[in-house]
């Protein structure tokens, strides 16, 4: 838990919740923060496995997963390849497009003055965001061409973010949904209603203005179809254990996947625990189910 990414604060909150659940379930667990001590120290601590609840950065992009593979310590969630792919939104889309998974058009943006060309291609509004961040950090909805340069600059202010790691994405209007995957099961979808569509970092974690609906209230055949697509997207990236896909359901019934999270939040505002509750799975049972899938490789 913790780590050094821009999502450190949320990881600490998630980690505290997971640690409490593990201890209350009788698991001999302790917290380990790789920002405070080197991860190789785990090798001498008699660790059977790691519950990886690091968000963003090296904790979710395959770096920590590779280190744990070398230490031969099993860990929860996806392996190196899937973690690296899912963290990189551009390459996630390349894989999904090749696999026939619907996803909005996007491109890498190399300079702040590229706005005119991007707007000509995708229209307005459009989304500008870092390629390798989560929790909506650094994401801007650009409504006017004049806003593009500032949005580009904001996406570059994050740790380890270079020019070529900013992307522009076609905006798709519709209902915001999230789909949690646990093992081989897609849990009930969650429908998100944020004020003025602002499902940003602050509203995700630190306010109660967002409304969540689970079950989502969709027709059963639509939810089933979305679930099959989410599993296909999960498999295309070689994900395992658990994860969460974010998507948009348009008015015409089409849907587009935005990204895949391989270590989703486990805070009081988080969506995987919410979907699990709707499926009759308590938080403690959810944590144990995720832990049971821990492995190397």
- Identify the active-site residue in 138, 243, 259, 270: 259
- Identify the active-site residue in 3, 57, 138, 265: 265
Nearest to 234 by CA among 290, 184, 289: 184
- Assess whether 255 carries a catalytic annotation: no
- Report the alpha-carbon distance of residue 19 to residue 30 in Å, rounded: 7
- Identify the active-site residue in 61, 169, 176, 246: 246
Whether the upstream peptide bond of residue 215 has omega within 30° of 0, thus cis, is yes
Note whether 14 and 56 are within 8 A (CB). no
- List, as one string, the DSSP characters of 196-233: GG---HHHHHS-S--EEESS----HHHHHHHHHHHHHH
Query: What value, to the nearest 5°, has the Cα angle with vertex 121 and ends 120 and 126?
Result: 90
Note whether 283 and 265 are within 8 A (CB). no
CB neighbourhood size of 217 (10 A) = 10
Tell how far CA 230 is from the center of its chain: 13
- Identify the active-site residue in 75, 199, 205, 255: 205
Note whether 189 and 222 are within 8 A (CB). no
- Identify the active-site residue in 7, 88, 133, 176: 7
The angle, 0 to 180 degrees and rounded to 10, between the axes of the packed helices 283-292 and 8-24 is 100
- Identify the active-site residue in 4, 11, 14, 135: 135
- Assess whether 246 carries a catalytic annotation: yes
- Assess whether 203 carries a catalytic annotation: no
- Assess whether 244 carries a catalytic annotation: yes
- Assess whether 7 carries a catalytic annotation: yes
> Six-digit token pair at 149?
């340069």
- Assess whether 135 carries a catalytic annotation: yes
- Identify the active-site residue in 244, 255, 256, 270: 244
Edge-to-edge strand order for the sheet containing 126-130?
A: 106-109, 166-170, 126-130, 140-142
> Six-digit token pair at 205?
């974690």
- Assess whether 60 carries a catalytic annotation: no
- Assess whether 62 carries a catalytic annotation: no
Catalytic residue ranges: 7, 135, 205, 244, 246, 259, 261, 265
């Amino acid at each position: 838990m913790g780590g050094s990414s821009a999502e450190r604060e949320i990881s600490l909150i998630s980690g505290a919740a997971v640690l409490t659940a593990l201890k209350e379930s009788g698991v001999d667990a302790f917290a380990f923060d790789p920002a405070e001590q080197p991860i190789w120290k785990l090798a001498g601590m008699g660790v059977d496995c790691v519950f990886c609840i690091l968000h963003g950065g090296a904790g979710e992009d395959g770096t920590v997963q590779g280190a744990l593979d070398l230490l031969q310590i099993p860990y929860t969630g996806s392996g190196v390849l899937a973690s690296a792919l899912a963290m990189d939104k551009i390459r996630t889309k390349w894989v999904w497009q090749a696999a026939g998974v619907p996803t909005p058009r996007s491109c890498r943006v190399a300079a702040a003055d590229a706005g005119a060309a991007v707007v000509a291609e995708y229209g307005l509004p459009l989304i500008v965001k870092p390629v390798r961040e989560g929790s909506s950090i650094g994401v801007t909805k650009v409504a006017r061409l004049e806003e593009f340069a500032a949005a580009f600059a904001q996406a570059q202010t994050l740790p380890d973010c270079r020019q070529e790691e900013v992307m522009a994405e076609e905006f798709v209007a519709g209902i915001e949904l999230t789909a949690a995957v646990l093992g081989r099961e897609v849990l009930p979808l969650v429908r998100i209603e944020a004020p003025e569509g602002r499902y940003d970092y602050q509203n995700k974690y630190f306010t109660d203005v967002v409304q969540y609906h689970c079950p989502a209230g969709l027709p059963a055949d639509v939810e089933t179809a979305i679930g099959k697509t989410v599993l296909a997207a999960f498999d295309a990236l070689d994900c395992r254990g658990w994860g969460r896909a974010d998507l948009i359901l348009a008015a015409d019934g089409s849907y587009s996947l935005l990204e895949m999270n391989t270590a989703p939040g486990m805070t009081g505002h988080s969506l995987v625990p919410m979907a699990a509750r709707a499926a009759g799975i308590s938080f403690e049972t959810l944590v144990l189910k995720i832990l049971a899938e821990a492995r190397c490789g």
